[in-house]
Amino acid sequence: MPTKLGARGTAALWAGKLTSALSRGLRRGGGTTLPGDVARWIDPRILTKLSRSLAEGTVVITGTNGKTTTAALLRHILEAQGRQAVANQAGANLIFGVTAAIVNQTSWSKTLPADVGLFEIDEASLPRLVQEVAPGTIVVTNLFRDQLDRYGELETTAAHIRRALTQGPEGVTAVLNADDPMVAALGDGLPRVIYAGLDDPSLLRPELSHGADAKFCPRCGSAFIFEGVYFGHVGRYRCPRGDFARPSPDIKATAISIEGMERMRLRVSDGAQTADVDVPLSGLYNAYNIIMALAAAKAMRVPLAKSAAALHDFTPAFGRMERTTIDGRAAVLLLAKNPTGFNEVLRTAIQFGKASSFLIALNDRIADGQDVSWIWDVDFEQLKGAAQHIVVSGDRALDLRVRLKYAEIPSERIEVVTDWRSALKRAADATPAGQTVFVLPTYTAMLELRAVLTRDGALRPYWQGQPADAKP
């Protein structure tokens, strides 16, 4: 049924769709946000008006890392239950990107063929999105210091989220990571919270890596006692003064086993049901994305057993453990955009992928962080024993080479190649037959590398949708 938009809303929708068609024609990256700018300029209430027709409401996902994969996992679960989702493109996670997504998917005759909205949003934009779409569920994955120049303190980011959670619509359910102290603290006093977490002590590590944030109790400021961490500062913690501890998760993953880069298995339990989940992803950080998606699905009344079964044939989101072939060598693309994310993809590649050949690409555009000093917080020392060959590329390839030198990686194993096509070729050529090249780019470096691979025919253009769209 067409949505009632009024004359102004109709004009906004059509102008947005026209902008989208034109920018696709000009090959300007598929127009992931511009149609949103145009539509909102004509009718600032266009997002509210269009989202009203979503019968099952809206889910919003925020946090520093894992938004895109969590959203893709949740979308996969919901679509397996026959629900049709409208979702924004990975990276287009400001209010304009969300508006563009819903404008693009609404027809010229004002019909939106979707019953649920599924939006990933930047933490600072969350309060505004909540005001405009009144989501039924808000998911917070984790909170880490992002690239240094992007936002202020982590406390400011947490305050944005807290404001959105307390001023959200009546009946909103918060889905929070119990193992991240700053995220867990957001649940204080909220009427409906689902806490999700990992509960497999065999995978806890003793110490905090040097990228760790949030080491202090949000109530009294004392340094937390960590029994162990799964990554960064995410793990089992308590305040020594006893006023704050990890909430017991309502849904948790136990017995996690990771088999190479191919698959991982988790036993999950929500108190009522227990199910085994088998997902084609790797790495402990992805165990969090999986448990957060299962918890969000629970908030949307999907039984755990059904969610778990749906994830068996999940396809990774673009650039997030996406597989391709580069000049005859198997390759995995692992987006790495901040110290914690970088540490975890390095660890996963080395520990589970037995990685020895790398292409690491560092750009310094706005979306990457213009101050690249954050690379000094990345634990590149992990590469010391593992890496046989590393191609460094991107705008700041030389900074990266200096950083790797300080990580004591022998200089004869590091090669600087600035041209993208040549960098891919060199990385593939240096990879022994039968092995995999691991490509770790920052955000805009990934877009550019993907553009080269798309021209080569190895990947599809990103505006033709994430692999999740490609189901028959």
304 is an interface residue for Zn ion by CB under 5 A: no
Contact of 218 with 183, CB cutoff 8 Å:
no
Exposure string for 390-400, b = 16+ CB within 10 A, e = fewer: bbbbbbbbebb
* Residue 232 CA: distances (Å) to CA of 170, 209, 276, 348, 436: 34, 6, 26, 14, 26
Amino acid letter, residue 257: S
C-alpha angle with apex 279: 278 to 283, nearest 5 degrees? 115
Nearest to 112 by CA among 133, 92, 76, 85: 85
CA distance 351 to 355: 8
Of 224 and 230, CB closest to Zn ion: 224
Of 28 and 241, CB closest to Zn ion: 241
Nearest to 145 by CA among 433, 407, 376: 376
Instruction: Show the site string, 100-129: x = touches Zn ion by CB under 5 A, - = not.
Output: ------------------------------
Of 222 and 325, CB closest to Zn ion: 222
Of 96 and 244, CB closest to Zn ion: 244
Of 244 and 358, CB closest to Zn ion: 244
We find the least distance from the C-beta atom of residue 291 to Zn ion, in angstroms, to be 26
Which residues have a Cβ under 8 Å from the Cβ of 152 and sit 6 or more positions away?
A: none
Backbone φ, ψ for residue 251 (5° rounding):
-135, 130
We find the least distance from the C-beta atom of residue 230 to Zn ion, in angstroms, to be 22
We find the least distance from the C-beta atom of residue 244 to Zn ion, in angstroms, to be 5
Per-residue H/E/C for 5-45? CHHHHHHHHHHHHHHHHHHHHCCCCCCCCHHHHHHHHHCCC
Stretch that binds Zn ion, among 127-135, 212-220, 402-410, 435-443 (CB under 5 A): 212-220
We find the least distance from the C-beta atom of residue 469 to Zn ion, in angstroms, to be 46
Of 243 and 276, CB closest to Zn ion: 243
Of 217 and 359, CB closest to Zn ion: 217
Which residues have a Cβ under 8 Å from the Cβ of 150 and sit 6 or more positions away?
A: 369
Stretch that binds Zn ion, among 83-91, 92-100, 109-117, 213-221 (CB under 5 A): 213-221
Of 84 and 222, CB closest to Zn ion: 222
| DSSP result, 278-309 | EES--SHHHHHHHHHHHHHHHHTT--HHHHHH
We find the least distance from the C-beta atom of residue 188 to Zn ion, in angstroms, to be 13
CA distance 112 to 87: 12
Of 219 and 354, CB closest to Zn ion: 219
**Which helix (H) or strand (E) element contains residue 400?**
helix 397-406
We find the least distance from the C-beta atom of residue 281 to Zn ion, in angstroms, to be 35
Nearest to 335 by CA among 315, 349, 351, 314: 349
Of 36 and 181, CB closest to Zn ion: 181
Which of 219, 312, 421, 471 lies at the binding interface for Zn ion (CB under 5 A)?
219
We find the least distance from the C-beta atom of residue 238 to Zn ion, in angstroms, to be 9
Q: Judged by CB under 5 A, how many residues of this single chain contact Zn ion?
A: 8
Which of 59, 214, 217, 294 lies at the binding interface for Zn ion (CB under 5 A)?
217
CA distance 235 to 257: 17
Which of 55, 220, 223, 402 lies at the binding interface for Zn ion (CB under 5 A)?
220
Residue 331, both tokens:
């390759």
Of 182 and 217, CB closest to Zn ion: 217
Stretch that binds Zn ion, among 118-126, 234-242, 300-308, 362-370 (CB under 5 A): 234-242
We find the least distance from the C-beta atom of residue 182 to Zn ion, in angstroms, to be 13
Nearest to 266 by CA among 300, 297, 289, 299: 289
Residue 317, both tokens:
């989101």
Q: Which of residues 325-384 bind Zn ion (CB under 5 A)?
A: none
Which of 241, 312, 384, 421 lies at the binding interface for Zn ion (CB under 5 A)?
241
317 is an interface residue for Zn ion by CB under 5 A: no
Which of 46, 87, 239, 284 lies at the binding interface for Zn ion (CB under 5 A)?
239
Nearest to 79 by CA among 107, 118, 119, 110: 118
Amino acid letter, residue 66: G
Stretch that binds Zn ion, among 237-245, 365-373, 414-422, 451-459 (CB under 5 A): 237-245
Of 237 and 342, CB closest to Zn ion: 237
Stretch that binds Zn ion, among 137-145, 191-199, 232-240, 342-350 (CB under 5 A): 232-240
Stretch that binds Zn ion, among 5-13, 216-224, 315-323, 399-407 (CB under 5 A): 216-224
243 is an interface residue for Zn ion by CB under 5 A: yes
Interacting residues with Zn ion (CB under 5 A): 217, 219-220, 222, 239, 241, 243-244
